């Protein structure tokens, strides 16, 4: 099944074509979920759901360099080039807007400056925590400053806007920040690039201890069903870790550079990208793994059965899009859409909240 989106500027040729395996729409319906995806280089928030007739619904909006995502079905948090945005669904339960059952509107924007924000999470108490990759720390929002630092790795001697270790991933456990991933343990500006093949680590922030080492550009750590899962992106493997033994256990090889990880029931959803031809992505074990399997890197999503490691469903995202960053599951959502700033829709949509007494 496919959903082409025509480019209204350059003509009828679609700039984005989303194609799925045959049973992927039925899987979305059975799980009662939709998906939200950010694209890295093309700056798009893509929402994937279902039309009433069972066809894929694909809706997109433009936000420059959008990356990290967090969502619970009602709210979305997303990082962009120099801001963090909170979207709220403005529809009442059972409401519809042009056939969509969720309408996400960017209500609050926090201007942080270019922190190269990667993963975002909202703790159980409501605090927003994000990975400030440029400074190599975890941070939260500040009403006055670009950010308020919360934690940094023990191997970093100072806070500096130098991307020393390429801290990128964040995992919650029991509603609190617990684990992070970094591509290296360098304490020099941009030093992580020299250890891309095997310098990646998982750090437990509760005691600032490296619990897994020897990874290749790890991303997207997530705690699910009491296990810590992550993407060993430089090798193309999705799997779980044992922080006690300090090991990574691959479950599935995926044909592409992995970023973005979410879960629904017995399934994981991962994002795939086609690696850029630059020094960041060249020379990784992924190159040899793709060659030995006789395949090329793809851009899209993989739905992985956690019980067997098999690829149950897939989505290909083609056209001008070649890189994804994050993916989140939107529970209980059938067909979502969002408003952005490139059209006047957001100017015309007005909603009224509950009355308050002066």
- The per-residue pLDDT for range 251-270, each reduced to its tens digit, is 999 999 999 999 999 999 99
Given this model, what pLDDT does residue 124 score? 97
**Pair 50, 334: CB distance under 8 Å:** yes
Owning domain of residue 108:
2-348
Residue 357 lies in a domain: no
Residue 313 lies in a domain: yes
Is the pLDDT score of 10 beyond 80? no
Residue 182 lies in a domain: yes
Residue 358 lies in a domain: no
Lowest mean pLDDT among 208-222, 265-279, 334-348: 265-279
Quote the number of domains for the chain: 1
Residue 166 lies in a domain: yes
Residue 353 lies in a domain: no
CA atoms within 13 A on the CB side of 173: 13
Confidence of residue 220 (pLDDT cuts 50, 70, 90): very high
CATH number, domain at 343? Answer: 2.120.10.30
Residue 355 lies in a domain: no
Q: Which two tokens stand for residue 81?
A: 């080039």
**Pair 230, 239: CB distance under 8 Å:** yes
As a whole number, mean pLDDT of residues 307-327 equals: 96
DSSP, collapsed to helix, strand or coil, labels residue 277 as coil
How much of the chain exceeds pLDDT 70, in percent? Answer: 95
**Pair 94, 114: CB distance under 8 Å:** no
Residue 30 lies in a domain: yes
Q: Global pTM?
A: 0.94
As a whole number, mean pLDDT of residues 17-35 equals: 97
22: phi then psi, degrees, rounded to nearest 5: -60, -40
**Pair 269, 327: CB distance under 8 Å:** yes
Is the pLDDT score of 345 beyond 60? yes
Between 17 and 128, the more confident residue is 128
Strand order in the sheet with 137-140: 117-122, 128-132, 137-140, 148-151
Given this model, what pLDDT does residue 278 score? 63
Given this model, what pLDDT does residue 258 score? 97
Q: Which residues contact 82 (CB under 8 A, 6 or more apart)?
A: 111, 112, 113, 114, 115
């Amino acid at each position: 099944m496919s959903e082409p989106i025509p480019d209204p500027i350059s003509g009828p040729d679609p700039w984005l074509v989303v194609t799925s395996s045959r049973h992927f729409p039925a899987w979305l319906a059975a799980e009662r979920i939709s998906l939200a995806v950010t694209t890295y280089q093309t700056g798009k928030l893509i929402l994937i759901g279902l039309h009433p007739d069972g066809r894929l619904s694909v809706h997109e909006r433009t936000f420059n360099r959008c990356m990290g995502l967090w969502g619970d079905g009602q709210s979305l948090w997303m990082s962009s080039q120099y801001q963090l945005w909170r979207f709220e669904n403005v529809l009442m339960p059972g409401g519809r807007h042009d056939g969509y059952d969720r309408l996400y509107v960017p209500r609050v924007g926090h201007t942080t400056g270019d922190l190269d924000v990667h993963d975002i999470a909202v703790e159980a108490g409501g605090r927003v925590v994000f990975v400030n990759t440029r400074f190599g720390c975890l941070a939260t929002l500040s009403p006055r400053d670009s950010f308020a630092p919360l934690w940094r790795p023990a191997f970093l001697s100072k806070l500096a806007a130098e991307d020393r270790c390429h801290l990128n991933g964040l995992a919650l456990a029991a509603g609190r920040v617990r684990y992070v991933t970094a591509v290296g343990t360098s304490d020099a500006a941009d030093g992580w690039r020299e250890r891309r093949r095997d310098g990646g680590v998982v750090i437990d922030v509760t005691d600032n201890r490296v619990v897994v080492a020897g990874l290749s550009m790890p991303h997207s750590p997530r705690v699910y069903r009491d296990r810590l899962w992550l993407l060993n992106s430089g090798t193309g493997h999705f799997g779980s870790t044992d922080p006690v033994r300090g090991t990574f256990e691959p479950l599935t090889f995926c044909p592409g550079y992995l970023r973005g990880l979410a879960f629904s029931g017995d399934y994981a959803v991962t994002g795939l990208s086609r690696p850029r031809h630059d020094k960041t992505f060249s020379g990784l074990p992924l190159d040899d793994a793709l060659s030995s399997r006789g395949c090329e890197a793809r851009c899209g999503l993989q739905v992985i059965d956690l019980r067997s490691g098999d690829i149950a469903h897939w989505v290909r995202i083609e056209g001008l899009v070649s890189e994804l960053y994050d993916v989140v599951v939107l529970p209980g959502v059938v067909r979502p859409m969002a408003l952005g700033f490139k059209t006047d829709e957001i100017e015309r949509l007005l909603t009224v909240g509950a009355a308050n007494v002066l």
